Amino acid sequence: MERPLLFAQLERHGSVFKALLQDLSPAEITWKPAPEKWCPLEVVCHLYDEEREDFRARLRSTLEEPGSPWPKIDPAAWVAERRYLEQDFTATLRGFLEERTRSVEWLRGLEHAPWTNAYVHPKVGPVSCELLLTNWVAHDLHHIRQLINLRYAYLKANTTVPLDYAGTW
């Protein structure tokens, strides 16, 4: 896929996340369908951290210094370590959306970037800039799907009205 199309998708996804997440009730922000699942607040915190510390940082590192170790990340541990459930939902969403804007501006400003660079990950082997960029888009889609499923499950759990008229989920 052409890079400008991927940049445009990342930009559009920011609008999708905003539309999916703005104006949630306080109850829905922290609602989980099961204890081991994430709530919208945890998803937003994860997106905010990933935007700054994973995809953009690792892509920048691979473009600029492919032989240097990547910044360390531990998204699963961050949920507890960074106390996601205690964060301010509105501020975190705003922060994520601002970071997404910065990411898209940075990507569009790259001229003559060495997109063929690859970082040799000690466990998975070569990870190219193209792989990082494309998986950034895929990561968004994963969490968009997750949020849509959460919104549906919340609606289903909080109504006595059958939802089958809308179609099968």
Tens of pLDDT, residue by residue over 75-109, are 999 999 999 999 999 999 999 999 999 999 999 99
Q: Is the pLDDT of residue 15 over 80?
A: yes
Mean pLDDT, rounded, of the chain: 96
Residue 99 and residue 57 in contact, taking contact as beta carbons nearer than 8 Å: no
Q: Please state the rounded mean pLDDT for residues 31-56.
A: 97
Residue 100 and residue 14 in contact, taking contact as beta carbons nearer than 8 Å: yes
- Measured from the Cβ of residue 102, the count of other Cβ atoms closer than 10 Å reads 13
- What residue ranges do the domains of the chain occupy? 3-166
Beta-bridge partner residues of 120: 126
In this prediction the pTM is 0.95
The DSSP secondary structure of 86-123, one letter per residue, reads GS-HHHHHHHHHHHHHHHHHHHHH--S--TT-EEEETT
Asked if the 3-166 domain carries CATH number 1.20.120.450, the reply is: yes
Q: Please state the rounded mean pLDDT for residues 138-148.
A: 98
